[in-house]
Chains A and B, each alone.
Chain A
């Protein structure tokens, strides 16, 4: 079956391309290879998803070793969807990257940049596809290490400290996760996720199982920037090069949330999670994250930092949906996962364009820039409306689903929080629009650009086109919800099925 081969090809292709780029060491070739690899992966992931959307599962045994001894790649609808998000955003980012990278990264580092980008992409994809929890940890480290390098390449020197903090915390999180995995291994003697899910309920030493659960959840929560553990995110995203912040904001936390879902609902079971108090904790944290993230976003003075805090809030919605522990709630979370990737990528792309033109995205320096860049501004407004949840955009679809899920469970406080969150979103989005469009234009203060540079004059077509593709898809998927909704529903059905998705 060709889909089986696709699953391994998705990982192997970037893994091969990355060292080749590093060896050839030419920036134009590096970009061309990155673009072609990501586009190939996108096509393959679409193909793969179409194979599993009906609920079937693809198994691939690495090296022919049968699980649970060998590593197995196991693709169902859930990871098919997340892999599609990762590939789609990666392809869009790669298309966008050329000019932005040329401007923001020193020339001799460009090939290495793309190399690290591909490795990060590979790591995230690997996390999605693998069915082996230790292999998942390895890919987690691959993606994390390369993302530290990517963030450190930001022009602002604060990028170095931001990256360093992220490194320390990310390592901490990964360590927690690893210890958790180790304990689970100790309790069951297996590392294959499907196998784990069978053996964990039978494990004799329940303390070991519980401790492993706690460690895994905390480790993943840090990677997903769930509310009290979000501190690394705003700096990391706002000081990274634009391309990196686009890619990471749209994929990294999403993949971490995928890991959380996978661990909660698949490795451990719904019944197990129900008996802990974790769901209540998740709902509360999600609610607080929505309010806290939005309030902080309002207080920001830079566009990227505002977007980063808004990410913290949006992650809150997803966590809330998971915490409801119902099919509707999880569906809402998955749809929001998909939708938020689209809109946040579009917004960070707009920020990247402003940075390209004005060399910064602080409000003080981009006043009135929207009037000079009407196309970019218009696309940004579409994505921003989506962030609020205006009908006709993707944001509405996910908020609607989440509201329904909350009402179904009679979580009235959460209904109120979701609505208040939307109102707060209006405020910060308005602040952005006001700065970009209504405040009088000040003389642009350009720093760090050679005089006579043509960058100041216009935005590159490739960047604008990518931005518009994403902005329009915000509307398209807001009206035609078939893809996101059906896939999410099918994924949730598998997770909630009586056998816990063992197939």
Chain B
């Protein structure tokens, strides 16, 4: 396969399903709709309640959303603390043997 052909192919492919912004938009709209339906269901369906927290309307949805936002924000802060460059551990690893005594 020649170079140009390969490039052509990638160009053709570039119009794959997920590359069209409209398709992605559609998927997201369906997703939003499902989220709304799930929240709506929470008021229709009677849930079993075991704990006090669960009495809060749409507790699980709120918890899921907040948990993830919190997680990501915390992780971003964590990055400041623990992120190092990729060769971090490999530096300073060459060393001479400690003792060199006799041969054989």
Contacts and interface: CB of A to CB of B under 8 A. Distances in A.
Interface in B52-104: 97-104
A227 to B, nearest CB: 18
Contacts of B103: 156, 301-302, 360, 362
Interface string A291-302: 000000001111
Interface of B is mostly: loop
A300 B98 CA distance: 9
Contact of B101 (A156, A239, A301): A301
A238 B103 CA distance: 9
Nearest to A300: B101
Interface size grouping (class) on chain B: under 10
A234 B102 CA distance: 10
Contact of B97 (A234, A238, A299, A360): A299
A305 B99 CA distance: 13
A410 to B, nearest CB: 35
Interface size grouping (class) on chain A: 10 to 19
Contacts of A302: 102-104
A299 B104 contact: no
A235 interface: yes
A299 B102 contact: no
A361 interface: yes
A238 B102 contact: yes
A74 interface: no
A237 to B, nearest CB: 10
A357 interface: no
A235 B101 CA distance: 11
Nearest to B98: A299
A305 B102 CA distance: 9
A344 interface: no
A305 B97 contact: no
A304 interface: yes
Contacts of A158: 102, 104
Interface in A218-242: 234-235, 238-239
Interface of A: 156, 158, 234-235, 238-239, 299-302, 304-305, 360-362
Q: Which A-B residue pairs are the 9 nearest by beta carbons?
A: A299-B99, A302-B104, A238-B104, A362-B103, A299-B98, A302-B103, A301-B100, A304-B104, A156-B104
